[in-house]
Amino acid sequence: MTSNGTDFERTPGGAVLMNGNKLRDELIANLRQKVEADGNPEICLATVLVGDDKPSQLYVKSKGKKAVEAGLQSRHVGLAATSTQAEVEAAVAELVADPTVHGILVQLPLPDGLDPEPVLDMIPPAKDVDGLTERSMGRLVRGKPGHVPCTPLGVMRLLDRYGVETTGKRAVVVGRSTLVGLPQVLLLGRKGVDTTVTLAHSRTTDLVAVCQEADIIIAAAGSAKMITANHVKPGAAVIDVGVSRTEAGIVGDVDFETVQAIAGHITPMPGGTGPMTIACLMENTYAAYYMANPR
């Protein structure tokens, strides 16, 4: 790929393929170089997994692997599904107090019967590399320094890397969760990004018409293939965040086959936003080290 974007990989229909695996690898390699240039400080990401949910185990494993590739240290705390609230909180308290741990990620959801809120509340903003605690979200709203949630941040990196114009453009975010949709709206509306954003959800009337007005569609609903060619204005950028596990395998919110024929840019699923979430987690962990150890 060149910086002018003329030879980006394209889909059969001619849309630029926003390759999240490729960009993740670039970001991780850059991070490794930065860590080496800094003299290899010991920057540690701690992951906490409660229970034995298979997809969560896979996510945590791949986060640990990518941390090492980025030149970071990875520490894993695995707790039994039968752990009590107090045991989970004690494990997190230990990581909060440990100066050799710079970023803490508690894999959600926690098993039934455990309340994630008090656990997340324990993580100070500097170590909250997932950016999902109340204090981090408050900082995002207020425009103060802090960690930005990894999935919407990864979407912004994809838009930037693949040269999608944002200033003065219209964007629609489908989904209003605090994990993805809400922070995504804030990031798209920031000064310097400057899109005019519409937040759509399950009560939105005539979603097709709302999406047809958009230059950028970010689908984060978790509803398999709900965004079809019908929703898409020719040339729009379509970013798929949704993940649905179906009998046919993992499926996104976007009907890739039909949409790629009309979109200007499109993410694949898998290989789009998922890898970018992990890359941004590593970037946040690197930044966390320098929050604790200002240069």
**Chain residues 42-81 in contact with ligand NAP, contact rule CB under 6 A:** none
The residue assigned the tokens 């909180």 is 89
Q: Is 38 a catalytic residue?
A: no
DSSP 161-198: HTT---TT-EEEEE---TTTHHHHHHHHHSTTT--EEE
> Which residue number, 167 or 205, has a Cβ lying nearer to ligand NAP?
205
Of residues 136-165, those binding ligand NAP (CB under 6 A): 151
Question: Binding marks (x or -) toward ligand NAP, 92..131, rule CB under 6 A?
Answer: ----------------------------------------
Identify the three-state secondary structure at position 103. strand
Instruction: Look at residues 106, 210, 190, 206 and name the one whose alpha carbon lies nearest to residue 140.
Output: 190
Q: Is the distance from CB of 273 to CB of 158 less than 8 angstroms?
A: yes
The active-site residue out of 66, 127, 130, 169 is 130
Which among 79-87, 123-131, 169-177, 227-235 is the span making contact with ligand NAP, rule CB under 6 A?
169-177
* Residue closer to ligand NAP, measured from CB, 91 or 150: 150
73: its two tokens: 């240290």
> Is residue 162 within 8 Å of 8, Cβ to Cβ?
yes
Ranges within 257-276 binding ligand NAP (CB under 6 A): 273-274
Catalytic residue (choose from 63, 66, 127, 169): 63
User: Which residue, 130 or 215, is less far from ligand NAP as judged by CB?
Assistant: 130
Is 107 one of the catalytic residues? yes
**In this chain, which of 196, 222, 261, 271 binds ligand NAP, going by CB under 6 A?**
222
β-bridge mates for residue 265, sequence order: 16, 237
Q: Where are the alpha helices (DSSP H) in the chain?
A: 20-37, 54-69, 85-97, 116-121, 134-142, 150-161, 181-189, 207-212, 256-259, 273-292
Maximum Cα–Cα distance across the chain = 55
Coil, strand or helix at 200: strand
Contact track, ligand NAP, 276-295, x by CB under 6 A: -x------------------
The answer to whether 243 contacts ligand NAP (rule: CB under 6 A) is yes
What x-and-dash track marks residues 175-214 binding ligand NAP by CB under 6 A? Answer: xxx-xxx------------------xxxxx--x-------
**Cα(54)–Cα(266) distance, rounded to whole angstroms?**
29
Closest CA to 288 of 115, 163, 161, 105: 105
130 catalytic, yes or no? yes
The nearest distance, CB 233 to ligand NAP, in angstroms, is 18
**Total interface residues for ligand NAP by CB under 6 A:** 26
User: Taking a C-beta distance cutoff of 8 angstroms, is the pair 176, 143 a contact?
Assistant: no
Residue with Cβ nearer ligand NAP (41 or 271): 271
Task: Name the residue with the smallest CB distance to ligand NAP.
Answer: 222
Residue closer to ligand NAP (CB basis): 35 or 281: 281
Q: Which two tokens stand for residue 286?
A: 């690197």
Angle between helices 134-142 and 181-189 (to 10 degrees): 20
Q: Can you tell me which of 185, 241, 262, 282 binds ligand NAP, judged by CB under 6 A? A: 241
Residues forming the site for ligand NAP (CB under 6 A): 151, 174-177, 179-181, 200-204, 207, 220-223, 226, 241-244, 273-274, 277
The residues annotated with a catalytic role in the active site are 63, 107, 130
